[in-house]
Amino acid sequence: MIKIQNPLNVVNKLLTFSLLLLAFAACNKSERETPNGFKFTVLKTGDGILPKKDQILVFNYILKDSKDSVWSDTSKDGVPGAIMINDSSQIASENGMVQMFRMLSKGDSVQVKMPVTKFFKDIVGSPSTPPGVDTTLSIYYTIGVKDFMALEQYQTYATNLQASVETKKIEDYLKDNGITTQQDPSGMRYVLYNTTGKAKPTAENCVEVKYTGKFMENGQIFDASEKIAFPLNQVIEGWRLGIPLLGIGDSATLFIPSSLGYGPRGYPGAIPPNAILIFDVTLLGIGNGFDEATRTCK
């Protein structure tokens, strides 16, 4: 005979089990505090081994506001955050967020909540909240520690990661826009529109070109010229590789990753860090030298 349980007993057992789960979850979350009083919540604990001086702490993070709008997610963007751990003598002068990183181990997951005004002042370093941002919002900064690395190891890691991310972005852009390109061994993509068979420049030549430069990310034009001359060996590597593909009168579009452009520093006031650039270029002329006085090839 099948014994039927009292429904109230079943409900009570389920309620008790749910309360146990909530209690277990609460036990695994704890609030901690840095030396200067900065508070954060531990969501998950890692291996317990803290970073050492001069190590780079690499971390993923999700930044969202109290309306559940995601501002940034490095797991989707592909490039994690990183911070160097300084000598312990610097602790007193560090802000709370930096002090917090000293207290984290590989595998830790933590969350910080703060008013959006405090976020821009203390974390971003902005004197005020940008126009258009709701100052009543709170910010949730969820951080997961990936690894600790020596500086040289991190530099190699970051360079390779950035190259991989940019390659994917360029490939997606070309696919989405139905563009077929050729590829240079460096990784630069390009489209040649016509080949006249006329003379092509070498790296030692001066060249005269017409060009338009824009950001791949948003299509914004940042520079253009109907005619400009320059020594080819004094420009970004993407141009040094791309322009010698052209004969006089030829034109092309160059898709230049940041490693062949302005890199992680960008060009202050004009090119942001790690910008992928698109140049439409026409080769107008070639010279053996550059005349500084007239700014033309000779």
Residue 28's pLDDT is what?
A: 54
The pLDDT value recorded for residue 275 is 95
CATH topology of domain 177-297: Chitinase A; domain 3 (3.10.50)
Query: What residue segments make up the domains of the chain, in order of their start?
Result: 29-157, 177-297
Return the pLDDT at 89.
94
Phi, psi angle pair for 124, to nearest 5°: -80, -30
Indicate the DSSP class of residue 107.
T
Mean pLDDT by 10 residues, the chain (298 residues): 39 41 51 95 96 96 95 88 95 93 97 94 86 94 97 93 92 96 93 88 94 96 96 94 95 96 90 95 95 91
Q: Do domains 29-157 and 177-297 have the same CATH topology?
A: yes
State the Cα–Cα distance between residues 28 and 22, nearest whole angstrom: 10
pLDDT single digits (tens) 198-241:
889 998 999 999 999 999 999 999 999 999 999 999 999 999 99
* Burial state string for 93-109 with b = 16 or more CB within 10 A and e = fewer than 16: ebebbbbbbbbbebebb
Q: Helix or strand or coil: residue 181?
A: coil
> Is the pTM value of this prediction over 0.85?
no
Hey, is 240 helix, strand or coil? helix
Instruction: Select 29-157's CATH number: 3.10.50.40, 3.90.700.10, 3.40.50.2300, 3.40.980.10.
Output: 3.10.50.40
In angstroms and rounded to an integer, the radius of gyration of the C-alpha atoms of the chain is 27
Which residue in 210, 213, 209, 195 sits closest to 287, CA to CA?
A: 209
